[in-house]
Structures are given as structure tokens and as C-alpha cells.
Structure 1
Amino acid sequence: MGDTSDALLYYHATSNRTDRMPSTDARSIARAISSCAPCPVLVFGLGHETPLWRALNPHGRTVFVDQNEYYVSHFEDRHPHLEAYGVQYATRESEAEELVRAAKAEARDACRPVQDLLFSECGLAINDMPNELYEVGWEVIVVDGPRGGDPSAPGRMAAIFTAGVLARSKKGGSEGTHVFVHDFDGEVERVCAEEFLCKENLVGSTRRLAHYVVRRAGNQGEGFGFCSGETKGDLQ
């Protein structure tokens, strides 16, 4: 990374905000963004790192989606030219086990790994983002939202599933997509990442961050499941 990226990360690391991402995790994501910049970057969730991800991708397109429309407006007011959209999540973390089980059962049909998410009938598909976002060949996808950790929260099941499908279905850009899952120490995040991003694609991890490189599958992925082998994760 260059001097500018290092400076941005230094100021992030010295922030006294209690909600900031650990420096090692932020640096891992920053390295992936800087390696492809300018490039398309998609981030699920708005937070303390939002200006950092955008600044690391000058002249590239960094898009944020969040469950909270008020939060989206708040960030747009504070950061001119920020591209952010509100999305509605129909999931609840209390339903995670049932939703993941259903998605696995439908992995060759409604929840297949290569598909047009706009028309998906899978319970974990996010299909209310702006239509053109589904056509973008994302180089980096960061899952740092929506809110989780309690039964009534949306959880990150849909964001992780959608990231896996976008990476496998992309038509342009490089062969692989960097997908990061933050709060990987959470049971829902860990199990969903193992199911939909797959252990064979895991290239690095810390206690709270998992880094996957998921390759496009093309038409050959339509009739197969997500992972080459069965995963061991189960939600309790």
C-alpha cells in the first residue's frame, strides 16, 4: 500500500472510538481494496470505517447498503458524494437455523449459487438493491452489517448469501472476488460463511474477520451447491 493508505490506516488505528474495527482487520480489508483500486467495492453496513473504505478507493466506485434509512441519510449529509442505499431485510436472527437449512435444501433451485438475484425466490436473497448493482462485477465485498447479536435483529445471513451469489455470478472484472466477513466470531456469521463462501475459499482470518476469495462459477455453477465438500457448521 502507498503512503496515503498507510496514513489513513494510522489515523484509524489511533482513533479512540470504541466501535472501530481492530487495526489488523482494517488493514487486511484495506490491502485488498488498495490492490484493485480504482475498482467496484460493495459494503454491507455503515459505520466508523465507511469514510476509510471510500478514501482507499479514489476514482473507484464504493457502494454502501444499510438496513437503516435514517443512518443512510445521516452519512450522506456528513459525507458528500457518498453512494449509499437503504435495503429491507426480511430475515430475523432467531430464524437463522431454519433459513440456512432451507437454503441448503434449495441449493440446486431457488437458492442456487449462480442466479439473477433480482428474480430470486430464495429466502436469503437480497433483491431490493438498485437494479444496476446486480450487474456490477464487484472486486471486493465487505459484510459488516446488518445488525446482529439478538433474536429480533436481521442478522447477516442474507448479506453473506448474497455476497456469495454475486461473486459467483459476476460477468466482468477479475476471476475472483475478495469477500470479507466481519464479526466472524459470531455463530451465525461463521456458519453462514462456511456454508455460502466455503472453507476451500478461505485465504486468511483473525478472531473477528474472515477473508475469502470466491471465483466466478459461470453457467457450470448453476446445477451444483456452493461448496466442493460438505461443511461442518451447524447453528445451535
Structure 2
Amino acid sequence: MKIALLGYGKMGKMIEQIAISRNHEIIAKIDNEFTSKDIAGADVAIDFSVPSAAFGNITSCLENGVPVISGTTGWLDNYDKAVDLCHRQKGAFIYASNFSLGVNIFFQLNEYLARMMSNLEEYQVSMEEIHHTQKLDAPSGTAITLAEGIIKNSSKTGWQLDKAGDNEIPITAKRIENVPGTHSIRYSGKVDDIEITHTAHSREGFALGAVIAAEWIIGKTGVFSMKDVLNLD
């Protein structure tokens, strides 16, 4: 499989190592704007760029018939446009706030727990996420996905960073040196607390999941998620 890397920071370099270990070829490493020539011949593109570049990268790939995997967060105001473009171009696209296999299992566990807790008014839900100091957005895309999973399965209507209203989920975002990513959801009651936590030990899990998603999407048409890749539905 020939891969174009869009964004060649720490994640891009980790994806490169894992892709090569799985006998794939990196044909482009792009950190700035690019043209169709730069991704010509790619079987798939993997985007771990920056929020300001992600939508343009995805658009260029879809317009040039290159399936694209994106793990960049902070650009989702344009997500519906990317979906519409993918359908119009009969392309293939996966966005995930987190490609880690463990995190995607955690997403499912979070929704299951939210359904169990939805009628128990004795408990109040909250969330904490911790990332490295280079993390550009807060809360993390993973935290937002977790919050959306709770909202979908409970009476909560939204989330807020730090202080939240009665019907919202409060999210605390911390930035600490050299923390790949920790997400905790807590249901606090008068007599006890229930808490689930996912702790990443390195970026390797994120990179491996992105490469597995890239392998999976080859030959497919449509907009997909990691639930499709891992057959979690």
C-alpha cells in the first residue's frame, strides 16, 4: 500500500514507522500546502496535520480520488462539507477523534455505561482529559466524542469546558508535559462514585489504529468510522 502522509510531526513519524513495519510504502511526507502531483500514485492519504489545514487536505484528496484517513481534531465545523464532498466524488473518508483500538472500545463502553446510568438521578456525570502541553485544542476531540456518546444515551443536552449547567456535562482539560492522553468519566453520587478511565502509554496505539483504518478503507466507497473498521456495531 502506498501512503501519503499529510502532516509530518510526531504522529506522522510514528505512522511512518508502523506503516513500514507492516510492509507499506510512504510516497509523500507533506507538512505544507500540496498539489495533486504530490499525492499522485497514493493508494491512501493519512492526515495528522493541524486544524487550519485539515479540511483543505481532505478536500484535495477527495477531489483527486485518494481515500483519506483524518485524525486531526479542531476542524469539525467543516465536517459536514467533507461528508457531502465525499459522497459527490464517490470517494472514501474516515475521520476519528482517536484511532486507538483501545479508545474505540472505550467509546462503546462509555455509551453502554451512559445508558445504564441515564435513569439514576442520584449520580452526576463529569469528565476529565489530560494531554501533553503541545495539544492545540481543548477539550480534546476524544473528550468531545465521549461527551456526544453520553448525550446520545442520556438526558444531557450539551457539554461545557469547566463550569456547566444542570443539563450539561462539565469537562476539565489539563495540559501536562509528556502525557499522551488520559480520559476519565465519573458518575459521582452521595454514597459512591463510578469511574471509567482510558490511559494511553504512548502515541503508538493512535498510529497503529490509523494504519489499520487505511488498510481497511482500500477499495471502499463512502464515509466510515472506526466502528466500521473494528466491526463494533
Common fold, TM-score beyond 0.5?
no
Bigger relative CO (Cα 8 Å, ≥ 6 apart): 2
Relative to its length, the structure with more strand (as a share) is 2
Larger Rg: 2
Length-normalised TM-score, structure 1: 0.34
